[in-house]
A and B are shown apart, each in its own frame.
Chain A
Amino acid sequence: MTALEKNPRIWGLLAQYENPSTIFTACEKVRDAGYEKWDSCTPFPVHGLEKAMGCKPSKIPWIVLCVGLCGSTFMLWFESFAMGNLYPMVVGGKPLFSLPAFVPIWYEITVLSSCLTAFFANWILSGLPQPNHPAFNSKAFERVTDDKFFIMIESEDPKFDIEQTRALLQSTGATLVEELPS
């Protein structure tokens, strides 16, 4: 008894493609057919595929800008507060607020806070770490990180119809179309 027979509700359809060229045109067709809850998976970022899918640009730059500015402002404030108020001490005849001498650490903390933000925002926006995913039930999907290209359309999608969706995927040059159990 396969997983699918135990649980007849399916999560979606998975289609396999052999090269970047066919998945590129396939994505354009799936996008134009009006699907929303779908995705493509590739071993490397295929140039322009996000446009063929109609994805919006990432918001990461804005998040990094905001957090980076906060980190930067905080560190400059903290340096002047620690040196000038918390334990005021004149070193080398410099004024308590000695901006040029604060620049290196101010700069390093700006970089560190921005990079940490970019790093974590990347995984959080992608919903990772996500230890399991319905596509991992497919044996064929193991090649997604090697040399095969996949499109998956979720059954939750309002336009999803098992027969029509399967026909659409097959017509786009898929070499394999599988049902993914949920």
Chain B
Amino acid sequence: MKYYCVLLIAVLSLVLFLSLQDIPVAQDLMPASSHYVNSGVRDTGATNLVNAILFDYRGFDTLGEATVIFASAAAFKMLFSHKRIFSFRYGLSPIVKTGMGIYSPFIFIFGIYVIMAGHISPGGGFQGGVIIASLSILLTLVYGLWYKVRRTVFSPAISSNIESIGGFLFLGIGLTGILTGNYFLSNLDAGFFAGTPGHMFSAGSIPILNIASGLKVAAGLSIIFYSIAGGE
């Protein structure tokens, strides 16, 4: 059985290699991309072009991606709804707890920095959201599950609300575009504050969308981990 698989895969790889060689390797940018590069800063006000594409030109895809995380978190809450507590009830040794106590504010601030400076430097909502979610997972591992349940900032009930608030913020920005007479998810056309490119408060609605998707990703991933780890 395994030999048939290897044979099939070898044939497929050969076919793929011989055919895909012919894809033309472009020297200059494609026409759409050259427009993004030349006029991206003027159209959106963001200097990070990937973020401008993700949250302004193709913002609808980002809404879909945030919805995938939301659906995944909802699926986990649906499937893992029985309360059972696993091994890391009490957390790790005091050395790790002390170290974590020193590190965690810095990780948090770094995550917030990555989210908020998404339109200037590499980063953005998703990357920063993942950093904050990993902070939440670290806190659960180090301090134990009972810490998670009792503290208010990272507790699972608050996480569901944060996720929904992030989603509504995204949709709200989109609907602002409709209410001002433009299209859904319009950025500078809808009158958001443009500012000077390269500064923190610029690029219209892109920082707000970054924050919304960052909240959503952080809350969603932390709900996923908490559901598997034995929450309610």
Whether chain B is bound by chain A comes out as: no
Which residues on B are within 8 Å of A, measured CB to CB? Answer: none
A residues at B contact (CB < 8 Å): none
